[in-house]
Chains A and B, each alone.
Chain A
Amino acid sequence: MSTQAPSLEVVDLRVEVDYGAREDIVDEITLHVAAGDVLGLVGESGSGKTTVGLAVLGHTRRGARIVRGEVRIEGRDILPLPPLERQRLRGRLVSYVPQDPASALNPALRINTQLEETLAAHGFGTSTERRARIVEMLEEVLLPTDDIFLKRYPHQLSGGQQQRVALAMAFANRPRVIVLDEPTTGLDVTTQAHVLETVRDLCSAHGVAAVYVSHDLSVVATLARQVAVMYGGRIVELGPTHALFTHAAHPYTRRLVEAIPEISGKHALIGIPGTAPRPGHRPVGCFFAPRCSFAQAECHVSFPPVENVAAGHDVRCFMHATVLAESIAARPAARPRAELGIEDALVAVRNVQASHGARQVLFDIDLVVRPSECVALVGESGSGKTTLARCIGGLHGGFEGEIFFRGQPLPCGSGARDADTRRNIQYVFQSPYNSLNPRKTIGQIIAQPLGVFFSASGADARRRAVEALERVQLSPTVLERYPQQLSGGERQRAAIARALVAQPQLLVCDEVTSALDVSVQAAIIDVLAELQRELHIGLLFVTHNLALIRTISQEVAVMSEGRIVERGLVDDVLESPQADYTKKLLSDTPSLEAAIAASS
């Protein structure tokens, strides 16, 4: 189908910030998508991928402005059209699937109203015809079509159902082009797998050209025929999916691929040091040069031009020949994980039950974590994994059964535990955006546990704080800074440092990387693995990402509906899963390796 004239052509697009200096958010964006094809638009946060996605609909967020370029849909440039005409094209010729359907569906309107107005706004037939189309759409996205469902409000639907409603809405008027903005980010792997399948089927069935915006290369690899990699508001590499992941010509693409965790766990996860430059803070020359190991003098002078390295494979890098010459297979192998602990259990959970109000969420839980051992707790949202972590951390109001810490039974709440136990069990939260007090400097945040547990202050406290920061690879200069002055990855490191100064024996990590970019995730995982090896800290690593666990943990417990359905050594569980639920999770986890193998 890729031989057809492209349904979507973006030519030399430039979007600027709409205030002060004329800084660009994205520039020189050129891409084509044929009918029925999916183009993956990948990049880390701040790379401008959503800006490009929205510009395809001729839309910008407040504070941004499209200043140059063309967006041609079936040959017609939609940007010069007057606003009213552009508005009429949206939702009909080109439509949008949002990142977070929970906030993108109007909480005050019924599902039926929101679907119907999408059709009515574009003059679709009579109300009976609209009703028939709604039923047809809901069937296509595998949702119920009865009145009871249609009369529901968004909050009465599950996350997967909400995303399906958003898909139905986007496909309702049979558009020619569709932009999907990370539509599976908040979903469980199983739900994600189903939604991706639906997207793929609908696009090919209706000959829709799709732009799939995502930071998740594994997802893109399973879905897209072509991939465009964005960095600092530019497309730095664009090519067929398979070529891009096996013969990446841009160092950034390579680093991204290396940062992706794989279920096979063959390779070391390597983060990319530094942070992506924001608009207005971009360096002279190639934007990636400051973080690039291939960079030469010329890279710091001018931005590289687009060069063609193979059929349909373009790259913007002066060093692409050198990069291509270095085989991607030469990835460093994974470092050996810490040995399986043989010592006595650090934490032993025995027959624990816990409830949220009247609803029981944990059933008969048994779990053991030994010193310098990492136990991964995996499961989908609602499986009870966070509740279990909170029980151990002393953050869950009450549980039945027993949790022993070094042989001593633990009381339920942290308030009932003695200072030494509280110090020994530290908790790192999911989102570093909410877990650090915005009114305190990192120094004050780290000093707090030092004051509480060691009565340390002044020079002694500072020395310990600096030591902890060095452990998580942060410079002591962050002590004077506020959390909002740090990037997401730096904040999560600071949160880990806050836990570390207490000199804990057990670190409970609750989805600590799920709010971070893959390159940052890799670096955080590296830090945690080092803590385990060098400080012999036991880790309870809660995650929904099966691909991560082999890199860091020795044992895994798989949770479903409040029960541990499978427990064992990571290698055993991943290679020969026993429980059906584990098998399903494994098959639903998107894998870059598998996608590449399938496409070659």
Chain B
Amino acid sequence: MTGFIIRRLLLGLVTLWITSLIIFAATQALPGDAARSILGRSATPESLAALRQQLGLDKSVFTQYWEWISGVLTGDMGASLVNSLPVTEVLSDRLVYSLFLMLLAAAISVPLGIYLGAASARRRDSAFDQTTSVATLGLAALPEFVVGITLVVVFATNVFTWLPGVAVTEPGVGPWHYPKQLILPVAVLVIAVVPYTARIMRASTVEILESDFVEMARLKGLPEQRVLWRHAVPNALAPTFQVTALNLAYLAGGIVVVEAVFNYPGVGLLLVDSVRSRDMPVVQAIALLIAALYVVLNLLADVATILVSPRLRTSLE
């Protein structure tokens, strides 16, 4: 098991290295450069050249990549072009906000999706199943910003005014100090993830409920609740974990939209601002961070799959 995790982590590093190449190439390909966007249209060629030299933009592409990547490896992601603060410092506060939002969303949506899926499969073709099916399909079809704005309209502004529509925070204060402000952003993320988890969980539970060992469990006279939760669900989890991991990773992108809608001071909002101001070191750092999140979540899903599948688990021992 440990060997497996180490192997997968090494593979993850390779993935991240390839991603770093793509990120770097993409930022190079963008029109205009940082010096021009910092100084604006009225900048003189002399000042532009001076700034380029200061930022190292006049060096060769390879040197620039090498300086960036070696900085990343030593924990120095460079300085923000906008306020000259180290990128790590700019990121750290924001990261806490975003991770907290995501963890909260995951902690609610994963069990909720699994429960809804399993319960629908159990009551297959019932009114409950059909309602859940239509609702999850409909919600899955809605982009996050539509869900976000609808929630703001309904719960924060036009209809009810129960909840704050935008986050108002102070630097250095953790997001958990503003529970009310978290409700709507978390709700949007939960709505984004639950439909997929619930649908895949329903599909795999339906399949498992038709299996011989579930019929055997019933013929042994086990109560239906035990048949479902002890016999069927553990076997249905493996495919669900895979889909959920991809979805949570997708949340890392979804969070950009959600944070923009609610003005929530996380990594996503920072990314939007940094792209607008061509703050390349920050953009690159965030892109790499999101890639790392994908790698980690997929690894976690694989480990979880192995943990719920004795056949895989015992073959690794």
Task: Please list the residues of chain A having a beta carbon within 8 angstroms of any beta carbon in chain B.
Answer: 54, 57, 59, 61-62, 87-92, 95-96, 98-100, 103-110, 117-118, 121-122, 153, 155-156, 166, 169
Q: How far is the CA of A87 from the CA of B222 in the complex (A)?
A: 7
B223 / chain A contacts, CB cutoff of 8 Å: 87, 121
Quick check: A89 and B235 within 8 Å, CB to CB?
Answer: no
* Secondary structure class of chain A's binding surface, majority of residues: loop
Within B206-255, which residues are at the interface with A (CB < 8 Å)? 210-213, 215-224, 226, 230-231, 234-235
Contact yes or no, B219 A153, CB < 8 A:
no
Which chain A residues border B308 with CB–CB below 8 Å? 108
Chain A residues, Cβ within 8 Å of B213 = 103-107
15 A–B pairs (Cβ distance < 8 Å), ordered by A: A57-B219, A59-B215, A91-B219, A91-B220, A92-B221, A95-B220, A98-B216, A99-B212, A103-B212, A107-B213, A108-B231, A118-B221, A121-B220, A155-B311, A156-B314
* Assembled-state Cα–Cα distance A74/B218 (Å): 22
**Residue B309 is within 8 A (CB to CB) of chain A in the complex:** yes
Give the residues from 10 to 64 in chain B that come closer than 8 angstroms, CB to CB, to chain A. Answer: none
With the chains together, A87 CA to B217 CA distance in Å?
11
Which secondary structure dominates where chain B touches chain A? helix
Give chain B residues whose Cβ lies under 8 Å from the Cβ of A156. 314
Chain A residues in 8 Å Cβ range of B309 = 107-108
CB distance from A46 to the nearest CB of B (A): 19
Given A108-B234, A156-B314, 14 more pairs with CB closer than 8 A: A87-B221, A90-B220, A90-B221, A91-B222, A92-B221, A99-B212, A100-B212, A103-B211, A107-B235, A121-B220, A121-B221, A153-B314, A155-B311, A155-B314
B212-A104 in contact (CB<8A): yes
Query: B310 interface residue, CB < 8 Å from A?
Result: yes
- Which B residues touch A61, using CB under 8 A? 215
Assembled-state Cα–Cα distance A103/B231 (Å): 13
- Chain A neighbourhood of B222, CB < 8 A: 91, 117-118, 121
Q: Provided the pairs A62-B210, A156-B314 are in contact, do residues A105 and B216 lie with their beta carbons within 8 angstroms?
A: yes
Tell me the bound Cα distance from A106 to B236 in angstroms. Answer: 12
Known: A98-B212, A117-B226, A156-B314. A106 touches B218 (CB 8 A): no
B224 CB to closest chain A CB (Å) equals: 8
Write the nearest CB–CB distance from B232 to chain A, whole angstroms.
9
* B216 → chain A closest CB, angstroms: 4
Q: Please give, as numbers and ranges, the residues of chain B lying within 8 Å of A92 by CB-CB distance.
A: 221
Looking at the assembled complex, report how far the CB atom of B273 sits from the nearest CB atom of chain A, in whole angstroms. Answer: 47
Q: Which of A59, A87, A91, A107 contacts B311 (CB 8 A)?
A: A107
A91 interface neighbour in B211, B221, B224, B234, Cβ under 8 Å: B221
Instruction: Specify the chain A residue showing the minimal Cβ separation from B221.
Output: A91
Q: Give chain B nearest CB distance to A324 CB in angstroms.
A: 39
* Measured CA separation A59–B230 after assembly (Å): 21
Q: Which residues of B contact A155 (CB under 8 A)?
A: 310-311, 314
Contact of A118 among B210, B220, B311 (CB under 8 A): B220
A-B interface contact total, Cβ < 8 Å = 83
Q: What residues of A have a CB within 8 angstroms of the CB of B234 in the complex?
A: 108-109
B316 CB, min distance to chain A CBs, angstroms: 13
CA distance A91 to B223 in the complex (A): 11
The residues of B that contact A59 with a CB separation of less than 8 Å are 215, 218-219
User: Complex: how many Å from CA A110 to CA B311?
Assistant: 11
Q: How many residues belonging to B are interface residues under a CB distance threshold of 8 Å?
A: 24
Q: Which residue of B lies closest to A88 (CB)?
A: B221
Quote the shortest CB–CB distance from A487 to chain B (angstroms). 23
B 278-311 binary contact with A (CB < 8 Å = 1; else 0):
0000000000000000000000000000001111
B221 touches A108 (CB 8 A): no
In the assembled complex, the CB of B81 is this many whole angstroms from the nearest CB of chain A, namely 53
Q: How far is the CA of A57 from the CA of B215 in the complex (A)?
A: 12
A121–B231 Cα distance when bound, in Å, is 14
B311 CB contacts on chain A under 8 angstroms: 107, 153, 155
In the bound complex, how far is the Cα of B106 from the Cα of A369, in angstroms? 65
Q: How far is the CA of A62 from the CA of B217 in the complex (A)?
A: 15
Docked complex Cα distance between A62 and B213 (Å): 15
B211 and A169 contact, CB distance less than 8 A:
no
Inter-chain contacts of A109 with B (CB < 8 A): 230-231, 234
Task: Looking at the assembled complex, report how far the CB atom of B64 sits from the nearest CB atom of chain A, in whole angstroms.
Answer: 48
Given the complex of chains A and B, what is the CA–CA distance between A87 and B226 in angstroms?
Answer: 13
| Residues of chain A within 8 A of B212, CB atoms compared | 98-100, 103-104
In the bound complex, CA of A155 to CA of B312 (Å): 10
Q: Which 9 pairs between the two chains have the least Cβ-Cβ distance?
A: A91-B221, A90-B221, A91-B220, A103-B212, A96-B219, A153-B310, A104-B216, A104-B212, A108-B234
Q: How far is the CA of A88 from the CA of B223 in the complex (A)?
A: 8
B219 touches A106 (CB 8 A): no
Q: Chain B residues near A57 (CB, 8 Å)?
A: 219
Distance of B168 from chain A, by nearest CB (Å): 48
Given A107-B311, A155-B311, A169-B220, answer yes or no on A121-B226 (Cβ-Cβ < 8 Å): yes
A61, A106, A156 interface centre (most CB from chain B within 10 Å): A106
A89 and B221 contact, CB distance less than 8 A: yes
Residue of A nearest to B236 (CB): A108
- Chain A residues within 8 Å of B221, by CB: 87-92, 118, 121-122
- Determine the distance from Cα of A62 to Cα of B310 in the docked complex, in whole angstroms: 28
Q: Which residue of B lies closest to A152 (CB)?
A: B314
Whether B235 contacts A108 by the Cβ 8 Å rule is: yes
A92 to B220, CA, bound (A): 8
From B218, B230, B235, give the contact of A90 (CB < 8 A): B218
Greatest chain A CB density within 10 A among B211, B212, B216, B220 is at: B220
Task: Name A119's closest neighbour in chain B (CB-CB).
Answer: B220
In the bound complex, CA of A106 to CA of B223 (Å): 16
In the bound complex, residues from chain A placing their C-beta under 8 Å from that of B216 are: 96, 98, 104-106, 166
| Nearest B-chain residue to A122, judged by Cβ | B221
| Contact, CB under 8 Å: B217 / A106 | yes
User: What CA separation (Å) do A53 and B309 show in the bound complex?
Assistant: 32
From residue B309, how far is it (CB to closest CB) to chain A in Å? 7
Closest chain A residue to B235 by CB distance?
A: A108
| In the complex, chain A residues whose CB is within 8 Å of the CB of B314 | 153, 155-156
How close is A166's CB to chain B, nearest CB, in angstroms? 8
Residues of B within 8 A of A96 (CB): 216, 219-220
Most chain A beta carbons < 10 A, residue from B216, B222, B311? B216
- Name which of B219, B231, B235 has the most chain A CB atoms within 10 A of its CB: B219
Chain B residues near A89: list those with CB within 8 A.
221
Taking the closest CB of chain B, its distance from the CB of A431, in whole angstroms, is: 18
| A95 surroundings in chain B (CB, below 8 A) | 219-220
Interchain CA distance A155-B314 in the complex, whole Å: 10
Min CB distance, B214 to chain A, in Å?
Answer: 8
Inter-chain CA distance A107–B312, complex, in Å, is 11
Q: Which residues of A contact B210 (CB under 8 A)?
A: 62
Task: Please indicate the chain B residues that have their CB under 8 angstroms from the CB of A166 in the complex.
Answer: 216
